């Protein structure tokens, strides 16, 4: 297989099509652009790609789009950091050399300023030992130098998806979030007025939503965190409904647990109706 960095634009798109089974087209935009293949199954992972080179972005988008991932493409670090304040991703792929701030600086802000625990792959032409060590010590989950090999890139992303859960990992016997007390031993949740007794999965799901209050969670994130990756969409939807009912997460009680079309769910505070 020819090296991706040695191919022209059309050749790179053909390479992406060979790996994905479909054509891949992309263009440079400052605003996030989401690329989806015709496969719209609910458990597709959501990947943020930070890459300012059109040909490189074309190839990554085509490869990932045809292999179970929806790609949101950005060309500046500022655009990605702004997107992360509004939405969630399963994996971030960062180039190092960018028009505004470096990919390493983006990585630092993701970890230090935003406290975002998402897996991060540095995908860059910089391949010195110093660069690799600096990125890994700075919070990168993995590092891959260009020119990358398609199946290796896919494998590394799959490993990151399997090995890292959203930032809800870690068991505690009791935890208080937004006025609710979660007891992991008895699997009860109370706001001081009512007590909701839950199954193990319902408890984990409720705690996951409250630990990410105000942020959308993809179905992939939820299923990986609560079921270890093995659950149907119907199972997920049923458990969400039970959590909503059991904890009375309604606008009248100050909460809204709603679906995010084509993505997942989010729990928000809501002003009670008068």
Q: What is the DSSP string of 194-233?
A: -EEE--HHHHHHHHHHHHTTTS-EEHHHHHHHHHTT---H
Q: Is the pLDDT of residue 10 over 80?
A: no
| CATH number of the domain encompassing residue 137 | 3.40.50.2300
Indicate whether 265 belongs to any domain: yes
Q: Which of 120, 143, 163 is the last residue in one of the domains?
A: 163
Co-location of 237 and 256 in the same domain: yes
Give the model's pLDDT for residue 33: 56
Residue 207 has what pLDDT?
93
Is residue 133 domain-shared with residue 30, that is, in the same domain?
yes
Q: Is residue 274 part of a domain?
A: no
H helices, E strands: number in the chain? 9, 13
Pairing of strands 217-218, 195-197: unpaired
Tell me: do 131 and 184 sit in the same domain. no
51 plus 150 within the same structural domain: yes
**Cβ contact 21:38 at 8 Å:** no
Answer yes or no: is pLDDT of 27 > 80.
Answer: no
Mean pLDDT of 77-96: 90
13 located within any domain? yes
Question: Would you state the pLDDT for residue 116?
Answer: 79
CATH of the domain at 203: 1.10.10.10
Q: What is the reported pLDDT for 97?
A: 94
The answer to whether residues 121 and 246 belong to one domain is no
Same domain, 188 and 157: no
Mean pLDDT (the chain, rounded): 82
pLDDT tens digits along 32-54: 555 544 333 446 788 999 999 99
Q: pLDDT at position 274, please?
A: 56
User: What confidence tens digit (pLDDT) does each residue in 217-254 have?
Assistant: 888 889 988 888 778 888 999 999 999 999 999 999 99
- Report the DSSP pairing between strands 69-74 and 91-94: unpaired
For 55, half-sphere exposure in the C-beta direction (CA atoms, 13 angstrom radius) is: 14
pLDDT score at 263: 87
The number of domains in the chain is 2
pLDDT given at position 47: 93
Reply yes or no on whether the pLDDT at 79 is more than 50: yes
Inside any domain, residue 233? yes
* 169 within some domain: no
Lowest mean pLDDT among 10-24, 42-56, 148-162, 244-258: 10-24
Q: Is residue 29 part of a domain?
A: yes
pLDDT in tens, 106-138: 999 998 888 777 889 999 999 999 999 999 999
Is 271 a residue whose pLDDT tops 50? yes
Same domain, 33 and 145: yes
**In whole angstroms, what is the distance from residue 50 CA to residue 74 CA?**
5
Instruction: Say if residue 98 is in the same domain as residue 70.
Output: yes
Question: Do 154 and 198 fall into the same domain?
Answer: no
Is residue 117 domain-resident? yes
215 compared with 5, residue with greater pLDDT: 215
pLDDT on residue 12: 46
Q: Are 142 and 160 contacting, i.e. CB atoms less than 8 angstroms apart?
A: yes
Q: Are residues 15 and 38 in the same domain?
A: yes
Q: Of 135, 163, 191, at which residue does a domain stop?
A: 163
pLDDT at 163: 57
What is the domain extent for residue 239?
174-269
Domain shared by 51 and 126, yes or no: yes
Of 163, 185, 217, which closes a domain? 163
Could you report the per-residue pLDDT of 88-111, keeping only the tens digit for each? Answer: 788 999 999 999 999 999 999 998
- pLDDT score at 273: 63
* Residue 104 placed within a domain: yes
Judgement on whether residues 263 and 196 belong to the same structural domain of the protein: yes
pLDDT in tens, 158-215: 888 875 444 444 445 688 999 999 998 888 999 988 889 998 899 999 999 998 898 8
């Amino acid at each position: 297989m020819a090296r991706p960095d040695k191919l022209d634009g059309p050749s790179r798109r053909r390479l992406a099509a060979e790996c994905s089974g479909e054509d891949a087209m992309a263009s440079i935009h400052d605003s996030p652009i989401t690329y989806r293949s015709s496969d719209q199954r609910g458990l597709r992972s959501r990947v943020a790609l930070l890459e300012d080179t059109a040909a490189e972005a074309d190839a990554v988008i085509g490869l990932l789009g045809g292999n179970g991932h929806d790609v949101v493409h950005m060309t500046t670090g500022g655009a990605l950091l702004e997107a992360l304040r509004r939405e969630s991703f399963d994996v971030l792929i960062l180039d190092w050399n960018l028009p505004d701030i470096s990919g390493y600086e983006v990585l630092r802000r993701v970890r230090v300023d935003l406290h975002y625990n998402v897996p991060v792959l540095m995908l860059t032409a910089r391949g010195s030992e110093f660069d690799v060590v600096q990125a890994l010590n700075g919070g990168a989950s993995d590092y891959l130098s260009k020119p990358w090999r398609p199946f290796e890139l896919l494998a590394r992303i799959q490993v990151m998806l399997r090995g890292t859960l959203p930032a809800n990992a870690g068991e505690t016997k009791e935890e208080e979030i937004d006025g609710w007390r979660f007891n992991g031993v008895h699997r009860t949740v109370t706001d001081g007025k009512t007590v909701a007794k839950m199954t193990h999965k319902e408890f984990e799901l409720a705690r996951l939503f409250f630990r990410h209050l105000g942020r959308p969670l993809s179905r992939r994130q939820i299923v990986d965190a609560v079921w270890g990756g093995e659950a149907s969409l119907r199972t997920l939807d049923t458990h969400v409904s039970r959590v909503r009912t059991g904890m009375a997460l309604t606008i009248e009680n100050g909460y809204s647990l709603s679906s995010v079309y084509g993505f997942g769910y989010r729990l928000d505070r809501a002003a009670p109706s008068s």
